[in-house]
């Protein structure tokens, strides 16, 4: 009930219209009983970073890269290159070429034009909708094409706002610099503003802000559909609206804003309505392509977090190494309760 309005902002539909499996994944392992147990046992627990026995939704501490999650991937990219791998950036996959139940390669679009890149295996994290639409060389069955084309997504806009100070202050016993709020995320339930969530980046890591002592960096999160009114607003108009909302909810004054930027992200959230209930039709067909593995969040059209996305890739690699023909292990990531958070941690 508490998250009803926020959830409606995120998905654009009332929570009662969203498939129950999304809810089950979002609060996996969480129950009234586990919350009560958490409250009772909390004073007796060591509050270290090892929270393997704590349900995911109740975890309060975890390791965060100094310069944000992207740092992890920059490191991974360096390792791949060091190991002799090649990473092509700014190369959009526009064609997935299939022949006789196998992926032969992909067609990529780069600044220099189109190019065919052959493959032994194809691990795809591109949106399922785009993957199916870009198939070449093989006829996609009509029902598969229809379900894939009807998969819905929610798009995302964030406004990064650098402020000299925030108007809200620390009301907890957690020590913070100059009494600043300790929160990393603040969910905004109010219906009279469009912003759904605030991130306070310097609370994730002080290294996320150049001048930690003199400023705070807030991320205002908006959820929309590509092409709708919010999406089509100009940057200047959108930022003006966002700063007005920040003032309206009493978080920061416009006079304290040093700088603000807007970023749009397409297909940020794979949604659990539309044709999603028939997703198995698409999955079963994609599974007939022996060397194709669907991984990640949009790659599986599943509300996977970063860990699940990584794990699905690791399972795909395991399948390839073990010569497995079934892709079930890859698809099963994040479907079973406690898949890795407790069972494999
Ligand atoms: C607002 C928000 C907050 C989140 N917070 C958290 C969090 O706190 N913790 C957490 O664990 N997870 C979080 N997530 C989820 C996390 O971001 C995803 O689980 C993760 O990024 C998925 O990884 P991925 O590799 O599957 O996809 P992505 O990270 O989306 O990467 C896919 C990449 O493929 C590219 N691409 C798409 N189509 C093509 C194409 N045709 N050709 C070439 N490239 C293509 C895209 O541009 C993108 O760069 C959050 C997500 C959002 C939107």
Using the mean position of ligand 1's atoms as its centre, give its distance from the Cα of residue 309 in Å: 9
- Ligand 1 nearest atom to the CA of residue 300, by list position: 26
Using the mean position of ligand 1's atoms as its centre, give its distance from the Cα of residue 44 in Å: 37
Instruction: Give the 3-state secondary structure of residue 156.
Output: strand
Q: Side-chain half-sphere of 59: how many Cα atoms within 13 Å?
A: 17
Ligand 1, CB within 6 Å, residue ranges: 92-93, 125-126, 130, 156, 221, 268, 296-297, 299, 304-307, 309
Q: Percentage of the chain with pLDDT > 70? A: 92
Residue having the nearest C-alpha atom to atom 13 of ligand 1 = 305
- Ligand 1 nearest atom to the CA of residue 308, by list position: 19
Mean local confidence (pLDDT), 286-298 = 97
Residue 71 pLDDT class (50, 70, 90 cuts): very high
Residue having the nearest C-alpha atom to atom 14 of ligand 1 = 305
Cα 293 from chain centre: 19
How far apart are the C-alpha atoms of 174 and 184, rounded to whole Å? 13
List the one residue out of 171, 223, 173, 177 whose CA is nearest residue 202.
177
From start to end of the chain, where are the E strands?
Answer: 92-99, 102-110, 113-118, 122-124, 135-136, 153-163, 185-187, 197-200, 216-224, 257-270, 292-294
How far apart are the C-alpha atoms of 100 and 104, rounded to whole Å? 9
Residue having the nearest C-alpha atom to atom 45 of ligand 1 = 126
Q: Check whether 344 has a pLDDT greater than 80.
A: no
Using the mean position of ligand 1's atoms as its centre, give its distance from the Cα of residue 297 in Å: 7
How far apart are the C-alpha atoms of 240 and 156, rounded to whole Å? 17
How far apart are the C-alpha atoms of 148 and 150, rounded to whole Å? 5
- Ligand 1 nearest atom to the CA of residue 94, by list position: 41
pLDDT of residue 139: 96
Using the mean position of ligand 1's atoms as its centre, give its distance from the Cα of residue 70 in Å: 11
- Ligand 1 nearest atom to the CA of residue 304, by list position: 19
Residue having the nearest C-alpha atom to atom 51 of ligand 1 = 268
Residues 6+ apart with CB under 8 A from 57: 27, 28, 29, 30
59, 123, 125, 310, best to mutate for ligand 1 pocket (most atoms within 8 Å of CB): 125
- Ligand 1 nearest atom to the CA of residue 269, by list position: 53
CATH of the structural domain 153-270, one choice from 3.90.660.20, 1.10.8.640, 3.20.20.70, 3.20.190.10:
3.90.660.20
Mean local confidence (pLDDT), 205-220 = 96
Mean local confidence (pLDDT), 70-81 = 96
The helix (H) or strand (E) run that includes residue 76 is helix 70-82
Residue having the nearest C-alpha atom to atom 7 of ligand 1 = 305
The ranges assigned to domains in the chain are 83-151+272-331, 153-270
Instruction: Give the 3-state secondary structure of residue 248.
Output: helix
Under 8 Å between Cβ of 297 and 309: yes
The CA–CA distances, whole Å, from 139 to 99, 132, 157, 238, 336 equal: 10, 10, 36, 43, 33
Instruction: Give the 3-state secondary structure of residue 212.
Output: coil
Domains 83-151+272-331 and 153-270 agree in fold: no
How far apart are the C-alpha atoms of 169 and 180, rounded to whole Å? 5
Average pLDDT, the chain: 91
Digit-coded pLDDT (tens) for 122-173: 999 999 999 999 999 999 999 999 999 999 999 999 999 999 999 999 999 9
For domain 83-151+272-331, give the CATH superfamily: FAD/NAD(P)-binding domain (3.50.50.60)
Buried/exposed 79-94: b ≥16 CB within 10 Å, e otherwise = eeeeeeeeeeeeeebe
Query: In this structure, what DSSP letter does residue 169 have?
Result: B
Digit-coded pLDDT (tens) for 95-119: 999 999 999 999 999 999 999 999 9
Residue 340 pLDDT class (50, 70, 90 cuts): very low
How far apart are the C-alpha atoms of 91 and 115, rounded to whole Å? 9
Using the mean position of ligand 1's atoms as its centre, give its distance from the Cα of residue 180 in Å: 30
Residue having the nearest C-alpha atom to atom 43 of ligand 1 = 92
- Ligand 1 nearest atom to the CA of residue 108, by list position: 42
Q: Check whether 345 has a pLDDT greater than 60.
A: no
How far apart are the C-alpha atoms of 103 and 137, rounded to whole Å? 10
How far apart are the C-alpha atoms of 35 and 28, rounded to whole Å? 12
pLDDT of residue 292: 98
Q: Check whether 269 has a pLDDT greater than 60.
A: yes
List the one residue out of 200, 199, 254, 251 whose CA is nearest residue 222.
199
Structure tokens, 210? 């150049």
Using the mean position of ligand 1's atoms as its centre, give its distance from the Cα of residue 271 in Å: 14
Using the mean position of ligand 1's atoms as its centre, give its distance from the Cα of residue 267 in Å: 9
Q: Is the dihedral of CA 162, 188, 153, 299 positive or negative?
A: positive
Using the mean position of ligand 1's atoms as its centre, give its distance from the Cα of residue 5 in Å: 24
Q: Check whether 247 has a pLDDT greater than 60.
A: yes
Cβ count near 21 (within 10 Å):
14
Q: Check whether 204 has a pLDDT greater than 80.
A: yes
List the one residue out of 77, 126, 79, 87 whose CA is nearest residue 296.
126
Mean local confidence (pLDDT), 245-253 = 97
pLDDT of residue 52: 63
Residue 302 pLDDT class (50, 70, 90 cuts): very high
Lowest mean pLDDT among 2-16, 23-37, 166-180, 289-303: 23-37
Under 8 Å between Cβ of 243 and 260: yes
Q: Which residue has the higher pLDDT, 220 or 273?
A: 220
- Ligand 1 nearest atom to the CA of residue 295, by list position: 26
Residue having the nearest C-alpha atom to atom 24 of ligand 1 = 296
Query: How much helix, strand and coil, in percent to the nearest 5, is found in the chain?
Result: 35, 20, 40
Mean local confidence (pLDDT), 214-236 = 97
pLDDT of residue 225: 96
Residue 19 pLDDT class (50, 70, 90 cuts): confident
Q: Check whether 282 has a pLDDT greater than 50.
A: yes
Question: How much is the CA Rg of the chain, to the nearest whole Å?
Answer: 22
Instruction: Give bridge partners of residue 98 from the DSSP assignment.
Output: 103
Using the mean position of ligand 1's atoms as its centre, give its distance from the Cα of residue 268 in Å: 7
């Amino acid at each position: 009930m508490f998250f009803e309005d926020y959830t409606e902002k995120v998905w654009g539909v009332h929570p009662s219209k969203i498939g129950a499996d999304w809810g089950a994944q979002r609060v996996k392992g969480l129950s009234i009983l586990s919350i009560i147990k958490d409250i009772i046992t909390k004073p007796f627990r060591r509050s270290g970073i090892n929270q393997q026995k704590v349900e995911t939704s109740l975890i309060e501490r975890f390791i965060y890269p100094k310069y944000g999650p992207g740092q992890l991937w920059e490191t991974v990219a360096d390792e791949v290159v060091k190991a002799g791998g090649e990473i092509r950036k700014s190369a959009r996959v526009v064609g997935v070429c299939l022949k006789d139940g196998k992926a032969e390669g992909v067609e990529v679009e780069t600044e220099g034009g189109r190019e065919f890149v052959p493959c032994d295996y194809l691990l795809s994290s591109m949106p399922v909708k785009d993957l199916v639409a870009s198939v070449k060389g093989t006829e996609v069955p009509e029902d598969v094409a229809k379900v894939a084309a009807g998969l819905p997504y929610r798009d995302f806009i964030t406004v990064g706002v650098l402020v000299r100070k925030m108007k809200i202050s620390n009301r907890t016993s957690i020590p913070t610099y100059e009494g600043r709020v300790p929160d990393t995320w603040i969910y905004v339930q109010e219906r009279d503003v469009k912003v759904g969530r605030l991130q306070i980046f310097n609370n994730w890591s002080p290294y996320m802000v150049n001048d930690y002592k003199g400023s705070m960096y807030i991320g205002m999160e908006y959820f929309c559909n590509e092409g709708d009114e919010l999406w089509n607003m100009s940057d200047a108009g959108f930022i003006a609206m966002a700063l007005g909302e920040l003032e309206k909810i009493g978080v920061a004054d416009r006079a304290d804003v040093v700088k603000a930027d807007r970023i749009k992200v397409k297909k940020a959230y794979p949604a659990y309505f539309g044709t999603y209930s028939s997703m198995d039709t698409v999955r079963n067909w994609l599974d007939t392509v022996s060397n194709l593995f669907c991984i990640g969040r949009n790659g599986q059209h599943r509300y996977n977090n970063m860990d699940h996305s990584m794990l699905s890739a690791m399972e795909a690699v395991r399948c390839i190494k073990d010569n497995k023909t079934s892709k079930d292990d890859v698809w099963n990531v994040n479907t079973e309760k406690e898949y890795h958070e407790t069972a494999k941690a």
